[in-house]
Structure 1
Amino acid sequence: MPKVRAEKKTRTHNEVAKQGIMFNKDFGQHILKNPMVITSMVEKSAVRPTDTVLEIGPGTGNMTVRLLEQAKKVVACEIDTRLVAELQKRVQGTHLQHKLQIEVGDVLKKDLPFFNVCVANIPYQISSPLVFKLLLHRPFFRCAVLMFQREFAQRLVAKAGDKLYCRLSVNTQLLARVDMLMKVGKNNFRPPPKVESSVVRIEPRNPPPPIVYSEWDGLTRIAFTRKNKTLGSAFKQTSVLALIEKNYKLHCSLHNKEIPEGFSIKEKIENILTNASAAEKRARTMDLDDFMSLLHAFNSEGIHFS
C-alpha cells in the first residue's frame, strides 16, 4: 500500500516484502501490517453489506480482504502492476473474487467510480490533491476513513488560531466535517516510514454550502499567502491587484456596467475591507463564517476570485 513520500526520488527498491515483492520508493510504499489497525479502520468506516467501497493503494490486500468481507463490492485503485498481480492472486478462487474490481493507474488522473465509502492508506505525496478530488466528487459519498502523515492530518482538523491552521484547514472544513480518529505509530508498517501517521474521518457536507468553490479557493489563496499579515496588507500585493482588476473588468463587461473614469481597484478593495471590518484581520484567526462574510462582501461589489 503506498505510503509516505520518499525524501529523494529514487528507483532503488528499499526492502523485500514477505510476499517476495520489493517496495518501490518512487511510490513511497509502506505496507500497513498491523491487523488491529486495519480492523479499527474498517470498523470506523461502518461499511454496510450494500456498500461499494473505494480503496486507494490496496498494496498486497491486507485491508482489501477485510473490506471485501463486509461490503457488496470493493473498487481498488492501484498504480503498481506488481501489487495488482499480488492482489488478484490473493482473492483468486475465493468467494470474495467476484466482489473485487481493480482499477490500474494514477488515481489523480482517473475519474473516480461511484462509491459509498472510501477507506485508504493514502500515499502522502498525493494527500492534498486527493482530499479535494474526493470532496468535489459527485454523487456524494457517505464518509472516508483515511490514513495520512500525522502533521497533514493535524492541519486538516486545525481550528482558527491553532499553530497548524492553514488554507488546507479552512478549505477542507468548508466542504466536510473532519474528525481525528487515532494515531498510528511507524512500527505498524513494513518497512517503517520516517514519520508518524494518523487516521481521520471525513464526512462531506450534503448539501454543500451555497457558494462557488473556485471563488472561495481564490479568496483563501490570497488571504493565506501571508497568513500572519493583515488582509489589508495581503490585498495590496501588485499581483493580487492585477488579478482582481482583470476579473472586475470582465465582470463589468459581462453585465454591461461602465467603469468610472479614474477608477482605482486598490481603493475599491480598501473600501470593501474597511466596510466589512476586515482590513485588520489576519487569515490565521479567521474561521469559516469570517471568510464567508468576506466573500459575500466582495461578490456583492462585483469582485470575483475565479
Structure 2
Amino acid sequence: MSKQPSSHRPRKRFGQNFLTDEGVIGRIAAAINPQEADHIVEIGPGQGALTETLAPTGCRLDVVELDRDLVAGLLAAFSVYSGFKLHSADALKFDFAALTDEGERLRVVGNLPYNISTPLIFKLLENASIIQDMHFMLQLEVVQRLAATPGSKHWGRLGIMAQYHCQVDHLFDVPPESFFPPPKVQSAIVRLTPRSESPWPDCSESELGKVVQAAFAQRRKTLRNNLKGLVSAGQLESLGIDPGARAETLELDQFVDIARGLNA
C-alpha cells in the first residue's frame, strides 16, 4: 500500500523523493524501534511519512527541514505532540550538540539526498560521542561504500572512516517505486552504531584521515606512490605492508598502523 502524494511538488534542488510505500515505512520504523525515552533527531522529514511513526511514541523528537514550504504542514500535523520541535535549517550547518542534555545521546534518522549524504555523514561522525545510533535511507551505492570490506571496489575513505567510528549494518534495499517521484537509482537502509569504546584508542582520527585520503587519492596507484611524503616504502615494509599494493587491499587495522607511525 502506498500513500498518495500531496500537492507539494518535490524539488530537484533539494533532492526530494518522498517515501510513500507504507510497507517500507513500517520496516524502517521497526528497525529504529523508537521508545518513549528516546531523543530522536529526524533529518529531512519531508511530508512526515516517517515522522508519523515516531511522534506518537512520546519520544523527544527534533526534526530538521530545509524546505520552508514543508514547514507549515509539518507543524500542523505534529505540533500536537509535546515532544515535537521543528528546526527550519540546513542539516549541514546545524549544531546537533546543542540539542543534547548532559550525558544524553541522540538517535538520528533520515532520508538523505544524495548530494549531501557524504558530507553530512562525516559531520555526524565528528559528533559520534553524542549519538546512540543512526538509521539512514541512502542511495544504494553509498550504503555499499559504508558497509564495504577490503578488496571490494566500494572500499574507500567513506567506509574506512565510518567503520573506524561505528558498527555498520546494511539492513535492506528499497526500490524506486517506493518513492514519489521514483528516483533513477536503488536506495537502501543502513544502521550506524557508534562504538562505545574504540578498538584503537591510541590512533589519532585526524592522522588516520590524512593517511586514508592520500592512499585513495588515485585508486590505481600503489601505496608507495600515493603515500610518498607521508610514509616511506621502508616504513610500510616494517609494518608488514607491501608498498606495491593498492589501498583497496588494506584492512582498517593496517591503515591504523600507518597512522600510528606518522609521528613516531
Task: Give the Å deviation of 1:139.
Answer: 4.0
Task: Give the Å deviation of 1:138.
Answer: 5.3
Task: Give the Å deviation of 1:171.
Answer: 1.2
User: How do residues 230-249 of structure 1 correspond to structure 2 at under 5 angstroms?
Assistant: 230-236=222-228, 241=229, 244=230
Highest Rg: 1 or 2? Answer: 1
**Runs of 4 or more off by more than 6 Å in structure 1?**
none
Deviation string for 1:264-288 (max 9, x for gaps)? Answer: xxxx724322322332332111011
State the AA in 1 paired with 2:73: E
User: Which residue of 1 is the match for residue 94 of structure 2?
Assistant: 110
Task: Give the Å deviation of 1:100.
Answer: 0.9
Q: Structure 1 residues 176 and 71 mapped into 2: Cα distance closer, same or farther (>3 Å)? A: farther
Match of 1:55 among 42, 62, 77: 42
Kindly report the root-mean-square deviation, in angstroms, between the aligned alpha carbons of the 2 structures.
Answer: 1.7
Give the total of aligned pairs.
252
Provide TM-score, normalisation by structure 2.
Answer: 0.90
Please say if residues 157 and 178 of structure 1, whose CA atoms lie closer than 8 Å, have aligned partners that are also in contact.
yes
State the AA in 1 paired with 2:10: F
State the AA in 2 paired with 1:77: V
User: How do residues 138-153 of structure 1 correspond to structure 2 at under 5 angstroms?
Assistant: 139-153=129-143
Which consecutive residues of structure 2, in runs of 5 or more, have no partner in the other structure? Answer: none
Match of 1:78 among 50, 65, 70: 65
Which consecutive residues of structure 1, in runs of 5 or more, have no partner in the other structure? Answer: 1-16, 245-267, 301-306
Question: Structure 1 residue 213 and structure 2 residue 208: aligned?
Answer: no
Please say if residues 272 and 298 of structure 1, whose CA atoms lie closer than 8 Å, have aligned partners that are also in contact.
no
Task: Give the Å deviation of 1:202.
Answer: 0.5
Q: Structure 1 residues 291 and 75 mapped into 2: Cα distance closer, same or farther (>3 Å)? A: same
Task: Give the Å deviation of 1:179.
Answer: 0.6
Give the % identical residues: 33
User: Which residue of 2 is the match for residue 22 of structure 1?
Assistant: 9
Q: Secondary structure at the match of 2:261?
A: helix
Question: Structure 1 residue 227 and structure 2 residue 214: aligned?
Answer: no
Match of 1:277 among 209, 229, 240: 240
CA distance in 1, matches of 2:30, 2:257: 39
User: Which residue of 2 is the match for residue 296 of structure 1?
Assistant: 260
Question: Structure 1 residue 171 and structure 2 residue 197: aligned?
Answer: no
Deviation string for 1:197-228 (max 9, x for gaps)? Answer: 00011101122331221111101011111233
Provide TM-score, normalisation by structure 1.
Answer: 0.78
